Structures are given as structure tokens and as C-alpha cells.
């Protein structure tokens, strides 16, 4: 199979008879199909802010002018044709323009039996709009024996190339790690090598360390100024890393005291918070303000916000339990809400209305009254996942209203979540499990590349939050209680 270069990775050429179709419609169907005239554009927004892009959509021989807002680093899709057998005709009719001109779906085009498993991949076409099925001029037969009798013209807003990711042991930091963050930077040149810069917080009990790297752990620098401003018995719990800002949450060994430390010059100097006295377990940034959650164990759940990362304001709400601390937070992919989870099944949604923070309780499925929720992760807009003690795992596709509990491979506590809706991973004890459309979209235990083994328990994870959806789908990072750093990336990248 020939190779080409696309989105920075070398991979198979998209050809006519190698793909199966998955279509998102509440459930996922799998059918064989033929692809013809795949013409995806190379229009990419390399700017910081969204831009308006004008284009023509070709439908049944006519050009129709269209406009779209391209996000930073988003690649624009174009028109293509798909051919398929009779088993798909009625299914696709339901989503064709004739029946619902505004209806759009996501198509997952999965390569069938690549010669080299490293090149296993899928093209994901988002917000696809389909023309009604038409009879082909002549019937064709795919390699799988499917007779192609129908075709549709389709238009895709965005193309994402999902690769078969491998789990690589990048390094082992000398102290136990407690948290990790991918550095968020402005996308000046989106073709430059990505997923290079990280921060890991760690401690051996004697020192509080914030390690940063700009070359994927080929070298690391300990930003000692951050730990130096925290009390002597502090243990870092979490880190947020954007441009030159490093915000670290911490607690003491007894789990009764804590706070935050912030550096605005990439760790050269730092300042401890002025008014937090209890443990801080997670930090982040939402709607132009820093945010944090925590609380003493079996004590008042706390949510704070700050304009400068030093002076913090706590929010009072009946949804914040007086006997359950919050352990983890995540920001909705489009910045619409914060989700936070903690002790004994505590889960809340935090959002702004007229500039004021509001907090509502989320009811998780199952009997969770004595089950600690360790981690929460936004996988897509309104799509959030929660991991907890005893292998607890739940997902919501509608912003925390309704929940399901997909099967997982572990009964150990799930303590780390990363990735997005196309490719997600969790860490439980020393096991890493992965789910993507390359593995029939169910969690299976992953292996570590190059014969590596993991001895520590996973304690933290992160993914790319800014940049293209393709970058977000193909990269993640996890750390363990023994300082091991595992990076997930496309096997074809190096």
C-alpha cells in the first residue's frame, strides 16, 4: 500500500476498497463501503482566534455558497462520494438532505486489515451532510464481497485522522508523581512538532518539585521556586500549565491543610495563595479565571475562583457537601461548564450565569454513596466521564443529565482519565486501558511499547486541550506513583 503524508504523519493512502463505515446515531453501525473521489481540503486555521471561511458546496451539479467559523488549528473538509451496498440504503436515506436538510452525522471510516498494524487508522468526518442515495452507473464489488449499488455525495465540515496509538514509557522521575499537565500554548505554527511540553508535580516527602520539559522528557528542569513558597510538609496534588503560568495545588501529609502556588514566569519565581487553608486537589482555568476544588477529607467540599491565582473566592452552595471533599475537576470541551467529583459519590456541575458561578448536584448511576470518585474528564462537548473506586466508570452524553456505565476491564480504582471521545484511556493500578474506534469502541487493556513495564499506580493524566481535534485524539500522557511517565502517541510518528 502506498504511503503519503497527511497532518504530519506518514500513513496509507485513502483508496477505494479498504474501509468500513461506522456511523454515529445513538448506536453505531458497521458496514462495508466504497470511497471514490475523496477530496479533503487543506484549509487550516493557524490563528489564535476563530476565522470565517467562505467556500462553495457542490450539490447535484450546482455550487452553493457557504460560510463556516474555523476554530484555531481546525482543518476544513470538502466534498466526497461514498458508495455502498443495499444494506445501507435505507439507513442513509434517513440522514439525507431530502429528509432533513440540517441533519448531520459523524462517519468513521476504518481501514480494513492494513498490511502493517502500526498503520491501523480511521478517517473521521464530522458533521457530514449526505445527498439522497442514487443508483450507481454500474455495480461494483469490494474486497469483502459487498456489492456496491448505491452512492451518495457527502460534505464533511472537518476531517480527523485517528491513528493506532502506542503507549511509550518516556522517563521515570526520581520522586513519586502526583499530577501532570500538557502545556497550553498559542498555535503560531500548527505544523510544528506538538506534544513536547509538560509539567509533572512530584515529591519524595522532603521536597516539593515541579518538573517541566520542552522536549518530551529528553531533559527536565525542576522549578524549585514553586515548592519553595509552599509550607515545608506540602504534597503537590495537581498542576495547570498555560504559556508561562504554572498553577499548582497542594495539601499537607495529614490531608487537613493546603493551598495553591502560582508562577507567571515559567517557574522562575512563585507566590503562595493568600487565603486558602484546606487541601486543594485540582486546579484549572475557566472563562478567564483560575478555578480550584478541594476540602479536608470528610469535610466541607470547596470550590474557589481567582483572577490572579493568589487571592481566592470560595463559592457557597447547598450542592457542596459539608462532609465530602472534591478531588477532581474538568472543563467542558467548549468551556461551557466545570464538572467536579469527590468523596462518596459527590458530583457537581459548575457554570456561570450573568457572571455568577452556580453549582448543581449531579446524580451518578448505581449505589455510589460510599464510592469515592477519583477523576472526571470531558471527552467532548456535553460528554463527560467519571472514574472511581472499585472499577467504577460512568459516562454522560448530555452534560450530566443521563448516565450509562460502559464495561471496563478492572475492579481496581480508576485514578486517571485522558483522551477524547475518539480515543480515550484510563489508568487503574498499573493497568492502562484504551478505547477507540480502532478497537470497536470498547475498553481493552493496553500494552506498553518496546517491552516496557509499569510498576507504580497511575495517579494522573492529561490531554491536549488546545489545538486541533486530530491532535487531541492522538495524544495523551499519564504518570504513576513511582514517577513513571507514559506518553500515548501515533505509532507511525517516530
The one-digit pLDDT tens for each residue of the chain (494 residues) are 122 222 322 233 333 334 555 444 333 344 444 444 333 344 455 555 565 656 555 443 455 566 655 555 455 555 566 666 666 666 666 666 555 555 566 676 766 666 677 777 777 777 777 777 777 766 666 555 566 677 777 767 677 888 889 999 999 998 999 999 999 886 544 445 678 999 999 998 888 999 999 999 999 999 999 999 999 999 999 999 999 999 999 999 999 999 999 999 999 999 999 999 999 999 999 999 999 999 999 999 999 999 999 999 999 999 999 999 999 999 987 778 999 999 999 999 999 999 999 999 999 999 999 999 999 999 988 889 999 999 999 999 889 999 999 999 999 999 999 998 889 999 999 999 999 878 778 899 999 998 999 999 999 999 987 667 788 889 999 999 999 999 999 886 54
Q: Which three cell numbers stand for residue 285?
A: 482555568
Domain match, 195 and 280 both: yes
Which H/E stretch holds residue 473? helix 469-474
CA 7/CA 465 separation, integer angstroms: 18
CA distances from 97 to 34, 63, 108 (A): 20, 15, 19
Q: Give the tens place of pLDDT for each residue, 47-62.
A: 555 656 565 554 434 5
304 and 318 assigned to the same domain: yes
Domain of residue 46, residue span: 3-162
Shared-domain flag, residues 250 and 393? yes
Q: What SS3 class is residue 87?
A: helix
Closest CA to 302 of 261, 365, 242, 357: 357
User: Are residues 244 and 324 both part of a single domain?
Assistant: yes
pLDDT for position 121 = 79
* Confidence at residue 211, expressed as pLDDT on a 0 to 100 scale: 97
Structure confidence at residue 32 (pLDDT): 44
The total of structural domains in the chain comes to: 2
Rounded to whole angstroms, what are the CA distances from 62 to 37, 56, 57, 65, 177? 17, 9, 8, 10, 58
Contact 112, 121 (CB under 8 A): no
* Predicted TM-score of the model (pTM): 0.83
Which pLDDT score, from 0 to 100, does residue 276 have? 98
Q: Same domain for 158 and 28?
A: yes
Indicate the residue among 121, 137, 162 that finishes a domain: 162
Q: Which among 139, 162, 185 is the end of a domain? A: 162
Where residue 345 sits, what CATH number does that domain have? Answer: 2.130.10.10
- Alpha-helix residue ranges (DSSP H) falling in 70-203: 86-93
Complete DSSP assignment for 242-277? ETTEEEEEEEETTSS-EEEEEESSTTSS-EE-SS--
For residues 334-362, one letter each, b for 16 or more C-beta atoms within 10 angstroms of the residue's C-beta and e for the rest, the string is: eebbbbbbbbbbbbbbbbeeeeebebeeb
Domain's final residue, options 117, 143, 162: 162
389 and 327 fall within a common domain? yes
CATH number, position 34: 2.30.110
Q: Roughly how many angstroms between the first and final C-alpha of the chain, as a whole number?
A: 19
Residues 138 and 169 occupy one common structural domain: no
Same domain, 189 and 147: no
What pLDDT, on the 0 to 100 scale, is given for residue 116?
72
CA distances from residue 454 to 3, 164, 485 in whole angstroms, order as listed: 34, 21, 9
SS (H, E, C) 40-73: CCCCECCCCCCEEEEEEEEECCEEEEEEEEECCC
Asked if 136 and 222 sit in the same domain, the reply is no
Which pLDDT belongs to residue 294?
A: 98
- Over residues 329-348, the pLDDT tens digits come to 999 877 789 999 999 999 99
**What would you measure as the largest C-alpha separation in the chain, in angstroms?**
77
Interior/surface letters 115-142, b for 16+ CB within 10 angstroms, e for the rest: eeeebbbbbbbbebbbbbbeebeeebeb
CB of 169 closer than 8 Å to CB of 454: yes
Shared domain check, 406 and 266 = yes
Residues 174 and 26 in one domain: no
Contacts 24+ apart (CB under 8 A), 404-409: 404/365, 405/365, 405/366, 406/442, 406/443, 407/442, 407/443, 408/433, 408/443, 409/433, 409/443, 409/444, 409/445
Give yes or no: residues 198 and 148 share one domain.
Answer: no
- Residue 138 near residue 148 (C-beta atoms within 8 A): no
Amino acid at each position: 500500500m502506498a504511503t503519503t503524508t497527511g497532518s504530519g504523519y506518514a500513513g496509507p493512502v485513502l483508496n477505494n476498497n479498504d474501509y468500513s463505515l461506522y456511523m454515529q446515531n445513538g448506536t453505531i453501525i458497521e458496514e462495508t463501503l466504497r470511497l471514490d473521489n475523496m477530496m479533503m481540503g487543506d484549509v487550516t486555521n493557524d490563528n489564535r482566534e476563530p476565522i470565517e471561511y467562505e467556500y462553495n458546496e457542490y450539490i447535484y451539479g450546482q455550487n452553493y455558497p457557504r460560510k463556516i467559523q474555523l476554530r484555531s488549528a481546525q482543518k476544513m473538509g470538502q466534498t466526497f462520494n461514498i458508495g455502498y451496498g443495499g444494506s445501507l440504503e435505507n439507513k442513509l436515506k434517513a440522514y439525507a438532505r431530502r429528509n432533513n436538510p440540517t441533519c448531520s452525522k459523524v462517519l468513521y471510516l476504518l481501514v480494513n486489515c492494513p498490511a502493517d498494524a502500526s498503520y491501523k487508522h480511521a478517517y473521521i468526518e464530522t458533521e457530514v451532510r449526505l445527498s439522497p442515495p442514487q443508483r450507481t452507473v454500474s455495480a461494483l464489488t469490494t474486497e469483502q464481497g459487498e456489492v456496491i449499488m448505491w452512492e451518495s455525495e457527502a460534505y464533511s465540515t472537518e476531517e480527523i485522522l485517528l491513528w493506532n496509538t502506542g503507549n511509550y514509557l518516556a522517563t521515570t522521575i526520581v520522586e513519586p508523581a502526583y499530577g501532570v499537565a500538557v502545556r497550553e500554548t498559542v498555535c503560531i505554527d500548527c505544523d510544528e512538532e506538538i506534544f513536547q511540553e509538560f509539567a509533572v508535580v512530584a515529591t519524595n516527602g522532603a521536597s516539593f518539585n515541579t518538573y517541566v520539559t520542552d522536549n518530551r522528557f529528553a531533559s527536565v528542569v525542576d522549578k524549585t521556586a514553586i515548592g519553595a513558597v509552599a509550607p515545608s510538609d506540602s504534597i503537590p496534588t495537581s498542576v495547570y500549565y498555560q504559556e508561562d503560568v504554572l498553577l499548582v495545588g497542594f495539601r499537607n501529609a495529614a490531608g487537613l491543610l493546603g493551598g495553591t502556588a502560582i508562577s507567571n514566569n515559567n517557574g522562575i519565581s512563585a507566590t503562595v495563595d493568600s487565603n486558602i487553608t484546606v487541601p486543594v486537589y485540582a486546579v484549572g482555568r475557566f472563562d478567564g479565571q483560575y478555578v480550584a476544588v478541594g476540602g479536608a477529607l470528610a469535610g466541607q467540599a470547596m470550590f474557589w475562583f481567582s483572577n490572579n491565582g493568589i487571592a481566592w473566592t470560595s463559592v457557597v452552595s447547598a450542592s457542596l457537601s459539608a462532609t465530602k471533599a472534591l478531588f477532581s475537576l474538568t472543563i467542558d470541551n467548549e468551556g461551557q461548564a466545570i464538572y467536579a467529583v469527590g468523596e462518596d459519590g459527590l458530583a457537581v456541575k459548575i457554570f456561570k450565569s450573568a457572571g455568577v458561578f452556580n453549582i448543581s448536584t449531579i446524580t451518578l448511576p448505581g449505589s455510589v454513596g460510599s464510592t469515592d470518585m477519583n477523576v472526571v474528564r470531558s471527552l467532548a462537548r456535553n460528554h463527560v466521564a467519571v472514574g472511581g473506586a472499585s472499577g467504577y466508570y460512568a459516562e454522560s452524553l448530555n452534560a450530566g443529565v443521563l448516565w450509562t456505565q460502559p464495561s471496563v476491564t478492572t475492579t481496581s480504582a480508576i485514578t486517571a482519565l485522558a483522551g477524547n471521545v475518539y480515543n480515550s484511556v484510563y489508568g487503574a493500578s498499573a493497568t492502562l486501558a484504551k478505547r477507540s474506534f480502532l478497537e470497536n469502541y470498547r475498553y481493552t487493556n493496553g500494552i506498553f511499547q518496546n517491552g516496557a513495564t509499569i510498576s507504580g499506580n497511575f495517579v494522573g493524566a492529561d490531554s491536549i486541550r488546545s489545538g486541533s481535534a486530530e491532535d487531541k485524539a492522538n495524544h495523551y500522557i499519564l504518570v504513576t506513583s513511582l514517577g513513571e511517565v507514559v506518553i500515548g502517541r501515533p505509532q507511525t510518528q517516530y
